[in-house]
Amino acid sequence: MAVLAETQNTSLKGKSMRKFKILLAGTVAALAMSGAAHAQRGTDGDLKILFWQAVSTLNPYLSGGTKEVYSSSMVIEPLARYDETGALVPWLVTEIPTVDNGGVAKDMKSITWKLKPGVKWSDGSDFTAEDVVFTWQYCTAPDGGCAQKAQFEGITNVEAVDKQTVKVTFSEPKYYPYGAFVGAQQPIIQKAQFKDCVGAKAPGCTSANFGPIGTGPFVVKEFKPNDVITFTANPNFRDATKPAFASVTLKGGGDAASAARAVLETGEYDYGWNMQVEPEVLATMLKAGKGVLVNSFGTQVERINVNWTNPDPKLGDKRSTVEGGKHPALSDPAVRKALSMAIDRDIINEAGYGEAGKPTCNIVPAPDAYISTTNDWCLKQDIEGANKLLDEAGWKKGSDGIRAKDGVKLSFLYQTSTNSVRQGTQALVKDWWQQIGVASELRNVSASVFFGGDPASPDTFQKFYADLEMYTNNFDGTDPEKYLAEWLCDKIPSPANGWQGQNIPRYCNPDYDKIVAELSKTADLKKRAELAIKANDMLTAEGAHIPLIHRGQISSHSATLVGVKMNAWDSELWNVADWSRKK
C-alpha cells in the first residue's frame, strides 16, 4: 500500500495511541477518586430524540431504512466505523487491518480482524468471533430477505480463527476490503439470541428484532413499533464512564417542520433528525435560541439524469430502451451541455437547501481525496454561452421561441418525485431553459411509486419514460467503486432484466467501462482516487447527468446537549456514548 494508505494508517495509530493515553489517564483518575468515574454513567438523565419518520424495527438487516439503521446503532455496533471526517475508526477491533500490519493478505483475498478483548454483550456474555461469523451466516441465508446482503458480496467464507480473530475470505482479490462489518449498516448481532431466526424464520422472531442484544452504550427497554423506543444505559458497556445519559427516549412520527419546532422552538426534545425544512422557516425557529443546526456532507448528489434513449410513447415496448434507439435531441452533446450551463445552482441551493447543500458539478462529491474540479465551469450560470452553443450546433429558434433542428424540437418532459423542494427546483430550471429556447413540461410522481421499482408501473425512475428526471443518489461508506460501476453498459435497465439495472441514463461508453474495470483491480488508494476522479469527470463532461447540489444531512440539537459530532458517513448517533448534558 502506498503513501495515502500509510498516512491514514499512521494517523489512525496516532489517534488510538492518544485515545489510549487519555483512557489511561482516566483510569488513573478514577482509581484516585475511588469510584467517582462510575458515578458518571447515567448521571445526565433522559436524552430525548425525535425522528419524524417513526422506527419500524430495530433489526437493520430486515429493513435497510435509514431510520432503522440509525436507531439500532445505539445498541448494536459494527467492527469498524467511519468518523465524522469519513476516516475508518476501529470500533470493536484493536486496529484497522492493512497489508502493512498483516491484517490484509498480500494477494488481497482475505482480511483478518482482531477483536478487542473484554467486550461484553449487554446480557453479560462474551462478545466473540463466533458472533461475527453468525452475522454473516444470518444475512446471507437464503429466503431471509436480508437488506444488507450486497455488502457481503464476493465473500466465500467468514471463519473464527480463535475467539478473538475473524478471517474473511474473498472469492477474488478485493482491493477495497473494508466492506463487510464496517459502518452502521452491518452491525454484529448476537448468535445466542438470533440462532433460531435464520432464513425464512427471520421475520417471525419479533422479540429479537424489536430488542436486539448489543455491545453498544444503550439497551432496548421497550419498543413500540412506529411510535417510541425507550433505551437504558448498558450496564456492561466497555467504557465504565459512559454513556452519560441514563436513558434515551426516541419518539417517531409527524413531519419535519413540527419536529424542528419541538427542538428549536419549544425545546421539548434534545435532538431532531433530518430537518428537511425550507431554510427561511428554520431561520425563524432558530431565533428562539433553544437549539442549533448541525450538518455534515456525505456523498448525496441531487442530479438531473439525462435520457440517452428515446422515451417516445410510439415505440411501445422499446420505449426508453437501447433497442428503441438514441434520443433524437439529447443525443447531441451540445444540447446536454447547454442544459447544464443554463442552470444557476447557487439560486437552487439558496431557495431549497440553505445550509444543507452546496452547488456541485461532480457525481462523486466526497471524500476530499475524490473531489474533482475539472468540470467547475458548471458552477457559473452562462445563458449567453448556452445560447451560442445551441446556435452553433444548428438548433434554430422557431416562431414560438423554441429551438428545433430537422423537425426535432427541444421540448422535454422533466420528472421527479413529489416534494416541495424538488418542485421549486423544477420551476426555476424550467424558467432558465426557457431563456435558451428549450421548452419543458414538468411532472411529479409520488415518491413511493417513483422509487418503488414496481416493474408494472410506468412511473418508476428506472423505466424513465421521460427525457429528464431529478433525484438524489449516493454511496455507502467512502469508496465509490460500486457506485461508479452503476454506469457500466451492462447495467442498463431494460424489459429483459425486469428494469433492474442501475444505469438510469442508459449511458454506455467502453472507455468508461475500462476505467471502472481498472479501478476494481487497483489497491493503491491514491491511484484509486485518480481513477475515480477520471470516471467522475467523464460522466459529467459527457452529460450522463447534470449534477446540481451536493446535499448534506442536517439535524438539530438542543443548546444544552454537548458532544454531538454530526456524521454523514455512518449513523448520526454513532458517538451517542459521548453525548452529555451541559452543566
Q: Which residues bind other proteins (CB under 8 A)?
A: 50, 54, 56-57, 59, 62-66, 143-150, 200, 202-204, 206, 209-210, 222, 224-228, 230, 249, 251-255, 258, 261-262, 265-266, 268-269, 446-454, 456-457, 459, 471, 473-476, 498, 500-502
Measured from the CB atom, the residue of 319 and 327 that comes closer to other proteins is 319
Cα dihedral 337, 342, 344, 345, rounded to 10, equals -20
Phi-psi region of 500 (alpha: psi -120 to 50; beta: other; left: phi over 0): alpha
Task: Say if CB 160 and CB 129 are below 8 A apart.
Answer: yes
Smallest distance, other proteins to C-beta of residue 65, A? 6
Give the angle 521-522-526 at the CA atoms, nearest 5°.
165
Measured from the CB atom, the residue of 22 and 496 that comes closer to other proteins is 496
Measured from the CB atom, the residue of 457 and 560 that comes closer to other proteins is 457
> How far apart are alpha carbons 446 and 451 in whole angstroms?
9
Smallest distance, other proteins to C-beta of residue 211, A? 12
- Report which of 249, 333, 458, 573 is spatially closest to residue 565, judged by C-alpha positions: 573
Measured from the CB atom, the residue of 1 and 141 that comes closer to other proteins is 141
- Report which of 208, 215, 210 is spatially closest to residue 124, judged by C-alpha positions: 215
Give the angle 30-34-40 at the CA atoms, nearest 5°.
55
Residue 43 buriedness (CB in 10 A; 0-12 / 13-18 / 19+): middle
Measured from the CB atom, the residue of 125 and 418 that comes closer to other proteins is 418
Smallest distance, other proteins to C-beta of residue 472, A? 8
Q: Would you give the end-to-end CA distance of the chain in angstroms?
A: 46
> How far apart are alpha carbons 20 and 30 in whole angstroms?
15
Measured from the CB atom, the residue of 262 and 275 that comes closer to other proteins is 262
Task: Say if CB 351 and CB 403 are below 8 A apart.
Answer: no
Strand-pair partners of 167: 112, 159
Smallest distance, other proteins to C-beta of residue 496, A? 13
Smallest distance, other proteins to C-beta of residue 514, A? 22
Smallest distance, other proteins to C-beta of residue 135, A? 16
User: Per-residue b/e over 200-219, b at no fewer than 16 CB within 10 Å?
Assistant: eebeebeebbbbbbbbbbbb
Residue that the C-alpha cell 459527457 belongs to: 542
Residue that the C-alpha cell 448556452 belongs to: 386
Maximum C-alpha span of the chain:
87
Measured from the CB atom, the residue of 159 and 278 that comes closer to other proteins is 278
Smallest distance, other proteins to C-beta of residue 433, A? 26
Measured from the CB atom, the residue of 16 and 520 that comes closer to other proteins is 520
Measured from the CB atom, the residue of 352 and 480 that comes closer to other proteins is 480
Smallest distance, other proteins to C-beta of residue 482, A? 8
Smallest distance, other proteins to C-beta of residue 283, A? 15
User: Per-residue b/e over 236-267, b at no fewer than 16 CB within 10 Å?
Assistant: ebbeebbbbbbbbbbbbeeebbebbbbbbbeb
Strand-pair partners of 158: 168
Smallest distance, other proteins to C-beta of residue 284, A? 11
Smallest distance, other proteins to C-beta of residue 457, A? 4
Measured from the CB atom, the residue of 253 and 424 that comes closer to other proteins is 253
> How far apart are alpha carbons 502 and 37 in whole angstroms?
52
Structural Rg of the chain based on CA atoms? 25
Measured from the CB atom, the residue of 94 and 473 that comes closer to other proteins is 473
